[in-house]
């Protein structure tokens, strides 16, 4: 079965055929590093991590590029509030972003590109837009004239008159159209700036990404991802800049966009008091539980973050991890059905992932496999085959635990004490030890093979 993806540009599922054979150049908009990343960012980056890993699983040679917006109005504003240098603030939060991504098992990105490392390329691209008649200078910088680019609005599927109607009131009366967007911002006192043919200043937001992708990929590439709120005006403006500059279409063959995350069915916002950073969530929930939560929803489907839903994810993931522990201890007879079950599940997993990365259905295929294997008596060798298969699946999903839980000597001693009390039918002592274990964040599952220590 061919891999199909939903292309925002055409609004339909299309067979995935990269521009150059199995080579895939993939770009996803990275963070503006002025604060800690939140759980909405986590949804986008976990889901695109799975997409990149599945493309590699399918044999594609993926180069995954992500930008770091390290110069922006938000960074300057926060730095001024903190009485801090903007570049130091950006470096600080870039490091924090890296910590958060590693905690969530996001390790598929080949290169993180800081915008400030591409200022020469940004200036060159703006000069090309001047030479071709798309850029013009005003009292506060340089703008892109959207009326000159006939395709403006094709990604968001908006006609030009609607774009003009929805435009914010122009701050600068020199602008030819209120919707014209900034390419270069004139220097303000105390702000970072670079020399350019149009005076000292700094890049606009949209031009940073196209300068980076043109440098790394050329004027055209295969896949661009990001959250749905970036379709307009950010991604729309990227298309206009690069296609106007290069004269080649399309800038990107496939556009993929991830839906929003809500908190208890409400939009997440600091003003509503429901803003949750990734690290705050990780203090309460295991990183693999959070990853499971994001992966168990289709990337184009909104997700509702709630205690109930995360707890459900934890319970669901525990079923998979319990199955791993069970097959690791298998000592029954050799079962020929296992190979067929593995083959059938592999086919189902790939079928669903080939259908626009349908992660929930792919996970459902894993649960179906677990139910079928649980009906069987299996051997140690069967168990090993199952583990090898699920490790291959997990190279994409990234939330299954295969290694044994590391438990301290103190916890092991408490479990042994409880087991001895149970053997002596000293239920009062066994219950006291159980309560001590609970306080330490553990419980014991009593199995025919002996006690199994688990985290709460």
pLDDT per residue as tens digits for the range 364-380: 999 999 999 999 999 99
**Residue 143 DSSP class:** E
Query: 400: Cβ–Cβ under 8 A, 6 or more apart, which residues?
Result: 288, 317, 320, 321, 324, 390, 391, 393, 394
Q: Is it the case that residue 168 has pLDDT exceeding 60?
A: no
Q: Is it the case that residue 169 has pLDDT exceeding 50?
A: no
Q: Is it the case that residue 119 has pLDDT exceeding 90?
A: yes
Q: What is the mean pLDDT of residues 27-50?
A: 97
- Structure confidence at residue 312 (pLDDT): 97
Contact 335, 380 (CB under 8 A): no
Query: CA torsion sign, 183 to 184 to 185 to 191?
Result: positive
Please give the residue that has the higher pLDDT: either 285 or 406.
285
Tokens of 43: 């949804």
Q: Is it the case that residue 174 has pLDDT exceeding 90?
A: no
- The C-alpha atoms of residue 208 and residue 242 are separated, in whole angstroms, by 11
Cα distances (angstroms) measured from residue 110 to each of 22, 49, 106, 236, 303: 17, 11, 11, 25, 27
Q: What is the mean pLDDT of residues 120-134?
A: 98
What pTM, to 2 d.p., does this model score?
A: 0.90
- What are 201's strand-pairing partners? 186, 194
pLDDT per residue as tens digits for the range 196-209: 999 999 999 999 99
pLDDT per residue as tens digits for the range 93-110: 999 999 999 999 999 999
Contact 399, 105 (CB under 8 A): yes
- The mean of the pLDDT values for the chain is 93
* Percent of the chain's residues with pLDDT above 90: 80
- The C-alpha atoms of residue 72 and residue 204 are separated, in whole angstroms, by 8
- The C-alpha atoms of residue 143 and residue 137 are separated, in whole angstroms, by 6
- What are 25's strand-pairing partners? 63
Q: How many Cβ atoms sit within 10 Å of the Cβ of residue 132?
A: 13
Contact 255, 48 (CB under 8 A): no
Cα distances (angstroms) measured from residue 260 to each of 11, 168, 237, 254, 295: 18, 23, 21, 20, 14
Task: Name the band, by pLDDT with cuts 50, 70 and 90, for residue 165.
Answer: low
* 3-state DSSP percent of the chain in helix, strand and coil, to 5: 50, 20, 30
Q: Is it the case that residue 271 has pLDDT exceeding 70?
A: no
Q: Burial code of 292-304, b = ≥16 C-beta within 10 A, e = fewer?
A: bbbbbbbbbeebe
- Structure confidence at residue 35 (pLDDT): 95
Least confident of 6-10, 157-161, 265-269, 290-294: 265-269
Q: Is it the case that residue 273 has pLDDT exceeding 90?
A: no
Contact 71, 192 (CB under 8 A): yes
Q: Is it the case that residue 277 has pLDDT exceeding 80?
A: yes
Please give the residue that has the higher pLDDT: either 137 or 439.
137
* Percent of the chain's residues with pLDDT above 70: 96
- Structure confidence at residue 445 (pLDDT): 74
pLDDT per residue as tens digits for the range 321-366: 999 989 998 999 999 999 999 999 999 999 999 999 999 999 999 9
- Structure confidence at residue 167 (pLDDT): 60
- Structure confidence at residue 171 (pLDDT): 61
Please give the residue that has the higher pLDDT: either 2 or 453.
2
Q: Is it the case that residue 447 has pLDDT exceeding 70?
A: no
- Structure confidence at residue 415 (pLDDT): 81
pLDDT per residue as tens digits for the range 2-32: 999 999 999 999 999 999 999 999 999 999 9
pLDDT per residue as tens digits for the range 214-262: 999 999 999 999 999 999 999 999 999 999 999 999 999 999 999 999 9
Please give the residue that has the higher pLDDT: either 350 or 423.
350
Q: Give every strand in the sheet of 141-144, ordered side by side.
A: 135-138, 141-144, 181-186, 201-203
Task: Name the band, by pLDDT with cuts 50, 70 and 90, for residue 384.
Answer: very high
- Structure confidence at residue 456 (pLDDT): 61
Tokens of 410: 């103190």
Q: What is the mean pLDDT of residues 279-305?
A: 96
- Structure confidence at residue 355 (pLDDT): 98
Token look-up 């894993």 returns 366
- Structure confidence at residue 62 (pLDDT): 98
With vertex at residue 336, the alpha carbon angle to CA 331 and CA 340, rounded to the nearest 5 degrees, is 120
pLDDT per residue as tens digits for the range 129-156: 999 999 999 999 999 999 999 999 999 9
Find, among 168, 195, 169, the residue nearest to 184 by Cα.
Answer: 195
């Amino acid at each position: 079965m061919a891999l199909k993806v939903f292309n925002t540009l055409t609004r339909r599922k299309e067979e995935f055929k990269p521009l150059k054979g199995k080579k895939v150049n993939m770009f996803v908009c990275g963070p503006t590093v002025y604060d800690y990343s939140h759980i909405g960012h986590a949804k986008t980056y976990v889901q695109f991590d799975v997409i990149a890993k599945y493309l590699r699983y399918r044999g594609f040679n993926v180069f995954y590029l992500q930008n770091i917006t390290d110069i922006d109005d938000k960074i300057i504003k926060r730095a001024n509030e903190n009485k801090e240098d903007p570049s130091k603030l950006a470096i600080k939060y870039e490091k924090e972003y890296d910590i958060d991504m590693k905690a969530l098992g996001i390790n598929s990105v080949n290169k993180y590109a800081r915008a400030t490392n591409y200022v020469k390329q940004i200036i060159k691209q703006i000069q090309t837009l001047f030479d071709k008649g798309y850029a013009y200078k005003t009292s506060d910088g340089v703008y892109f004239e959207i009326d000159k680019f006939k395709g403006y609005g094709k990604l968001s599927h908006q006609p030009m008159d609607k774009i003009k109607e929805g435009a914010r009131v122009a701050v600068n009366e020199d602008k030819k159209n209120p919707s014209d967007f900034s390419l270069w911002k004139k220097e303000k006192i105390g702000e970072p700036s670079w020399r350019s043919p149009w005076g000292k200043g700094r890049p606009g937001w949209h031009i940073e990404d196209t300068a980076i992708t043109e440098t790394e990929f050329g004027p055209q590439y295969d896949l661009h991802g990001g959250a749905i709120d970036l379709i307009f005006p950010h991604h729309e403006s990227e298309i206009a800049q690069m296609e106007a500059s290069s004269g080649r279409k399309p800038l990107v063959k496939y556009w993929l966009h991830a839906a929003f995350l809500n908190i208890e069915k409400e939009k997440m916002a600091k003003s509503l008091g429901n803003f949750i950073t990734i690290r705050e969530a990780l203090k309460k929930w295991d990183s693999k539980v959070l990853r499971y939560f994001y992966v168990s929803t289709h990337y184009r489907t909104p997700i509702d973050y709630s205690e109930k839903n995360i707890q459900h994810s934890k319970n669901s993931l525990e079923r998979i991890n319990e199955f791993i522990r069970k097959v690791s201890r298998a000592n029954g007879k050799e079962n020929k059905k296992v190979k067929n079950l593995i083959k059938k599940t592999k086919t189902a997993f790939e079928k669903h992932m080939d259908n626009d990365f349908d992660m929930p259905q792919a996970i459902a295929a894993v649960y179906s496999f677990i139910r079928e294997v649980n009906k069987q008596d299996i051997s140690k060798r069967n168990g090993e085959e199952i583990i090898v298969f699920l490790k291959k699946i997990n190279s994409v999903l990234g939330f299954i635990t295969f290694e044994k839980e590391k438990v301290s000597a103190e916890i092991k001693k408490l479990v042994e004490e409880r087991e001895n009390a149970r053997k002596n039918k000293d239920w009062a002592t066994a219950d006291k030890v159980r309560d001590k274990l609970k306080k330490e964040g553990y419980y014991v599952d009593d199995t025919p093979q002996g006690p199994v220590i688990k985290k709460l």
